[in-house]
Copies of this chain bind each other. A is one copy, B any other.
Amino acid sequence: MRIGIAALTTLPEVAPGDDVARLIREAAAREGEPIDAGTLVAVAQKIVSKAEGAVVDLRAVTPSAFARQRAEEWRRDARLIEVILRESRRIVKMDRGVIIAETRHGFVCANAGVDQSNSGGGELATVLPVDPDASAEGIRSALGCGAVIVTDTFGRPWREGLVDVAIGVAGLEAIEDCRGRVDRHRRILASTVVAIADQAAAAAGLVMRKADGCPVALLRGVEWRAGRGSGRDLVRPPDRDLFR
């Protein structure tokens, strides 16, 4: 089995109102990169948020007292903390200057996905797209590719460093359930439930280098199951989450 991953390198800066699918199509054409039913397109959340106007001008944010107190303790921007709180449905862990929050979508990540880097400079911060699945599907149908994932970079407990994961999914099943299948010795694979959308996101992350500004990658040769997957499929339900 063979997979190829190519970053698109000529996307322009994305601004609110831009048609991301069109920008991708034009960059791919410019670079001689075909996009078809066998292509899985990975799109960084950042440009989806920008295009959809999921951007906050911090100058317009009045921080709450709680935000101001945390900002003073942690020497962080109170307005940014205020935005993080507004994007959070639940605070999972708040310690040592770090906020791990559950977003309205159910994702658990640092700062509820609020990000000030690559956000247009100045006092702008991006928040996660309102509906990353819908964003993914919009790009997928416009491009005519097989599948789309919207990716973001998350930390994780117990392990250092960040990895890319899928927060929005279109055209494929996000989780591949191998249970019931057997291994080479006819033993049932009792617990092999693979987060294929996250694996694809991480693979795309190898070419989508933050400092180089390559927010889109084309993956070819990935074997996925066509379906109506969702970024929410990758979120562990509370009753099955030992670390809630």
Contacts and interface: CB of A to CB of B under 8 A. Distances in A.
Interface of A: 1-7, 9, 13, 92-93, 95-96, 98, 100, 108, 110, 116-121, 153, 156-165, 174-176, 178, 181-187, 189-196, 198-203, 205-207, 209-214, 222-223, 233-236, 240-244
A203 to B, nearest CB: 4
Contact of A161 (B3, B175, B183): B175
30 contacts: A1-B209, A4-B4, A5-B203, A92-B158, A93-B242, A95-B242, A96-B242, A117-B187, A118-B184, A119-B185, A121-B187, A157-B241, A158-B243, A158-B244, A160-B175, A160-B193, A160-B240, A161-B175, A161-B196, A162-B194, A163-B202, A182-B211, A183-B210, A189-B210, A199-B202, A201-B202, A202-B202, A203-B203, A203-B206, A206-B222
B108 A158 contact: yes
Contacts of A98: 242
A162 to B, nearest CB: 5
A105 to B, nearest CB: 12
Nearest to A182: B211
A156 B100 CA distance: 15
Given A159-B234, A182-B211, 15 more contacts: A1-B7, A2-B4, A3-B206, A5-B5, A108-B158, A110-B191, A118-B184, A159-B165, A163-B202, A183-B213, A189-B211, A192-B210, A192-B211, A209-B223, A243-B243
